[in-house]
Structure 1
Amino acid sequence: MTGTLFSQQPVVWWIAGYPFPAGPMVVCICAVIITRVVIGLQAKGKAQWALDLSITALCLLITVLWVQAHQLDMLAAGITGIGIAAIGASIIGMAKGFVAGRIKAAMQAFGETLIGGGSGKSER
């Protein structure tokens, strides 16, 4: 046999025209799924599979985007997947707070521009 089973070149996948190494992506996806399954199995009370699947999908999306944007290595991708999956539903609250803060700051800046008159104080 002259061929090899493994390549020394990393496998590169493409999502919407953006390249990323496949290894870290597989690791982060597995980390999110495993963490969300463990959290779902430890939950007491009525199982809400639809909610948990929605949260898992959101966690997967955020993790994949984060790993792709930062080109993380395999360990960092795994830790990121576990962390984001552990945060779970809190991601929605954090995003809501972030966006609300940005909107509030924009409204304040817009209000100051209108109140200030645009050219500064008038002299008398």
Structure 2
Amino acid sequence: MSRAWGAALPYATSDPGAERALLRCESRLRELHPYAMNRYDRLRVEGHTPEAAMREVAPLFAREPRPRTGYPAPVRPQLPPAVKLAQEDFPHTIDKVVGTCGNARTTAGATAKPARTAAPNRLS
């Protein structure tokens, strides 16, 4: 179909038979690949020449002619705000946590003796 369209294009302005062939090819391409030809029609409305519009649309003919978008996503319940979740999961403020841990470390560090580590075994 594209070969016939391309062959008829140069003569479409001067030969009525070529113009009819061009229009029939475009009509058939709309049946076979409405996705690509929809883009072609939009480009033509925007003012592109037939050659430029078809050149831009040509890669679209390799895609699915009638793409389906599928079903809409399910509606999910809205989550509570992040701040509320943080308050529920972590009731303590960072100041309390750092203050408590800092005091425990200094107290434990002052009373605990350093642990001895065993010397590594050497094979001679």
Bigger strand fraction: 1
Q: Which has the larger radius of gyration?
A: 2
Same fold, TM exceeding 0.5? no
TM-score (norm. length: structure 2): 0.31
TM-score (norm. length: structure 1): 0.31
The answer to which structure, 1 or 2, has the higher relative contact order (CA under 8 A, 6+ apart) is 1
